[in-house]
Each structure stands twice: as structure tokens, then as C-alpha cells.
Amino acid sequence: MVLALTAKKKIGFVNGKIPMPDLDSPLYEDLQSYNTMVLSWIINSMHIDVSSSIMYCETTREMWIELKNLFFQGNGPKIYNLQREISHISQNQMSVTDYFIKFKRLWDQLLNFEPLLECSCGAMKILSASHDKAYVMRFLMGLNENFDTLRSQIFMTKPFPSISKVYSLVL
């Protein structure tokens, strides 16, 4: 939903960046129309049982907050399960491509739940490089034994290669 709303330039109704103006504002009618349109998109994208419990919200922002309150669960268990899956994943009988896709999906999900912070001091650049290295190392460690020689060569490479470079080398 966030992707669709962003593509339609309507995400501001959900995140509160486009507040509803006063009734006497010249923008009120247009924004009310857009708000109603976004409300209908959200309602029509849900199962009827869910939409019936929130369909009387007056603004998109109200509805979004209500949905968040209804369905938000702590990320702790999800993060734990993703970290556990990542630590146990290995190529086994999968092709390199299938293994990489599965591994990348799990890693991207984890990064979505635990995004790296942004700062202007430069410390995040170091942390990000360390994170990327851990990503590559974990991928390499899950490969089958027949990649031992290549794995050793990659571990000694300076500067440490990106995941896309490593994947192309393994292929």
C-alpha cells in the first residue's frame, strides 16, 4: 500500500504530511476529494472483515493509525526469527541462484525491520561497510564445500567485495 500511495503521490495523506485544511480553506474541497479517494483505495484493498472495522474513519491518517494499532506487533520476535533463519541457511541442494535469492530475501527483510541509521558524522559509513562485509561473509559461509577455494580467495580480497561482485564470482 505504501508503494502504491507513494507512486500516486498520496503518501502524505497517510503519514500526516498533508493535513486536512480548515473548512473555509480554498484547498478543502480538493484535499477532501483526494482523502476520500485514498480512503477508498485502502478500504478496497482489505478483506471485508478488516475494512468493516475501520471504514468510518474520516481521514486517511486516522485510518492508517487505526490499522497500525490493530495490527502492529513488536518486531522483536520477527527479528529474532530472521536472524535465526539467516544463521542456519545453507545452499545444500539448491542452485547458487536459488540460495542467493532466498538468502537476500531474508537479509532484506531483516534490514527492513532493523534499518541502519543515518548520520552526517561518517560513523555510519564504517558501520555500513561492516554490515555489508558481514552480509557477504554470511552468504559465503552458507555455500557448499565445493566453493571452499573460492571462499578463501574472497576472504583475503582487499578491498572486500560487494555482495553483487561475490555473487557473480560464485556463478
159: preceding bond cis by omega (within 30 degrees): yes
Contacts of 2 (CB under 8 A, 6+ apart): 11, 14
Determine contact, residues 13/59, Cβ cutoff 8 Å.
Answer: yes
CA angle 28, 33, 34 (to 5 degrees): 100
Range with the poorest average pLDDT among 5-9, 116-120, 166-170:
116-120
Q: Which of 123, 118, 128, 121 is nearest to 162 (CA)?
A: 128
Position 9 confidence tier, pLDDT thresholds 50, 70, 90? very high
Determine contact, residues 138/86, Cβ cutoff 8 Å.
Answer: yes
Instruction: Provide long-range contacts, Cβ within 8 A and 24+ apart, for 73-80.
Output: 75/113, 75/114, 78/113, 79/110, 79/113, 79/114
Interhelix angle 123-141/96-113, nearest 10 degrees? 150
DSSP 8-state code for residue 65: H
pLDDT at 73 over 70: no
pLDDT at 72 over 80: no
Q: How do residues 12-55 score in pLDDT, each as one tens digit?
A: 999 989 988 899 999 999 999 999 999 999 999 988 888 888 88
Range with the poorest average pLDDT among 26-30, 98-102, 124-128:
124-128
Average pLDDT across the chain, whole number: 90
Q: Where are the beta strands (DSSP E) in the chain?
A: none
